[in-house]
């Protein structure tokens, strides 16, 4: 379990993390979402004890994890992808880590197999591709059989097979009772992997809820209705807390009414309908909706291509 209490981190003028509190429970995968620069990596570094909070505190598995006798058995971390600058082979890199942490050599071979690096374990880790480096990072994080794992964008650089493997591995770890806290920008992946979400923007907590709860917070679902008389239907359905957005020449997106209510009203008024269907908000749409005001680095529409 990870307990984050009123955590803040200031870098000079910049308040990177601003009074954030949440709890990450064991037995499920918890996703950590937020736009670029939201403070995810900073929060994860503070959880890992690699960065000192300006204020607030983090408790991992009920204690200050650095004070633990076997820190590798408490917390496994994979922080933002950076190349392992080592002339050592992947296996020797892990063996050295195992040796200094009282972990057996058998476990090294287990994690090498788990992350699919068997064929390249004897190769120099410094020459690994981004995805192979990520796999090695995951192997390092899992080496001590940690009760809690914190992974910062672990799917970064993985091929589709690797992304699928990561998803299954995270779910397996959670099913075995581990606490799994994972950041990602891959929304469809998070929707399939995580049960709960912690969402931050500009250093502040935006939501701490289930995936379904987050989507519901962002509006949940809308209805698309296609008709030969969009203007009449629009006038008929208008009301407080109801949003009607025209879509093309013959459709409306309705927020605030059910398909049943729309169908009944249209039928009573003799307005023909060609289509009437629920549109579920995707996690990606919910994320955009909920974090829009917290996005610091908006892309501009114009892209200059050097000739
Ligand atoms: N060591 C540092 N010194 C100064 N500012 C920092 C430092 N680390 C992070 N920041 C700033 O803190 C803010 C949060 O950064 P952080 O890396 O935690 O964001 P993030 O949510 O991980 O973003 P991304 O999705 O891009 O990885 C940013 O504005 C960043 O520039
Ligand atoms: Mg980051």
pLDDT in tens, 152-193: 999 988 899 889 999 999 999 999 999 999 999 988 899 999
CA of 248 to the centre of ligand 2 (A): 39
Q: Going by CATH, does the domain composed of 221-280 fall within 1.10.3470? A: no
Q: What is the pTM of this model?
A: 0.85
Confidence of residue 298 (pLDDT cuts 50, 70, 90): low
User: Where residue 45 falls among pLDDT bands split at 50, 70, 90?
Assistant: very high
Ligand 1 and 34: CB distance under 6 A? yes
- Choosing from 35, 38, 43 the residue with most ligand 1 atoms within 8 A of its CB, the one to mutate for a pocket test is 38
Three-state DSSP at 13 gives coil
CA torsion through residues 234, 235, 239, 245, sign? positive
**How many Cβ atoms from other residues are within 10 Å of residue 240's Cβ?**
5
Q: Is 39 in the pocket of ligand 1 (CB under 6 A)?
A: yes
Containing H/E element for 261?
Answer: helix 259-268
Cα dist from 216 to 6, 173, 222, 286, 287, whole Å: 26, 27, 11, 8, 11
Decide if 220 contacts 54 (C-beta within 8 A): no
Which residue spans of the chain are classified as CATH 3.40.50.300? Answer: 2-216
Q: Is the CB of 50 under 6 A from ligand 1?
A: no
Fold of 2-216: Rossmann fold (3.40.50)
Distance from C-alpha of 192 to C-alpha of 179, rounded to nearest angstrom: 17
Question: Does the beta carbon of 184 sit less than 6 angstroms from any atom of ligand 1?
Answer: no
Question: Above pLDDT 70, what percent of the chain?
Answer: 94
In the chain, where does the domain assigned CATH 3.30.70 lie? Answer: 221-280
- CA-CA-CA-CA dihedral for 11, 15, 16, 22, to nearest 10: 130
């Amino acid at each position: 379990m990870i307990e984050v209490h009123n955590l803040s981190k200031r870098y000079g003028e910049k308040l990177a993390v601003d009074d954030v509190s949440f709890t990450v429970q064991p037995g499920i995968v918890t996703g950590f979402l937020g736009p670029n620069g939201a403070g995810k990596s900073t929060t994860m570094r503070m959880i890992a004890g690699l960065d000192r909070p300006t204020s607030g505190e983090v408790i991992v598995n009920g204690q200050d994890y650095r004070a633990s006798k076997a820190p590798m058995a408490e917390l496994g971390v994979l922080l933002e992808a950076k190349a392992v600058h080592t002339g050592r082979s992947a296996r020797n890199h892990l063996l050295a880590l195992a040796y200094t942490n009282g972990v057996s050599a058998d476990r090294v071979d287990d994690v090498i197999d788990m992350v699919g690096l068997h064929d390249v374990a004897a190769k120099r880790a410094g020459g690994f591709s981004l995805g192979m480096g990520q796999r090695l990072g995951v192997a390092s994080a899992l080496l001590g059989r940690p009760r809690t794992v914190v992974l910062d964008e672990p799917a970064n650089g993985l091929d589709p097979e690797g992304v699928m493997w990561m998803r299954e591995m995270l779910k397996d770890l959670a099913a075995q009772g581990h606490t799994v806290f994972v950041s990602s920008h891959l929304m469809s992946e998070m929707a399939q992997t995580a049960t709960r979400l912690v969402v931050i923007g500009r250093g502040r907590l935006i939501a701490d809820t289930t995936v379904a709860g987050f989507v519901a917070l962002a509006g949940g679902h809308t209805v698309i209705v296609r008709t030969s008389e969009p203007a009449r239907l629009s006038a008929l359905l208008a009301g407080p807390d109801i949003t009607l957005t025209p879509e093309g020449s013959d459709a409306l997106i309705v927020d605030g009414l059910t398909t049943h209510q729309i169908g009944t009203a249209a039928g009573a008024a003799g307005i023909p309908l060609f289509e009437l269907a629920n549109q579920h908000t995707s996690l990606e749409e919910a994320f955009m909706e909920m974090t829009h005001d917290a996005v610091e680095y908006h892309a501009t529409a114009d892209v200059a291509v050097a000739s």
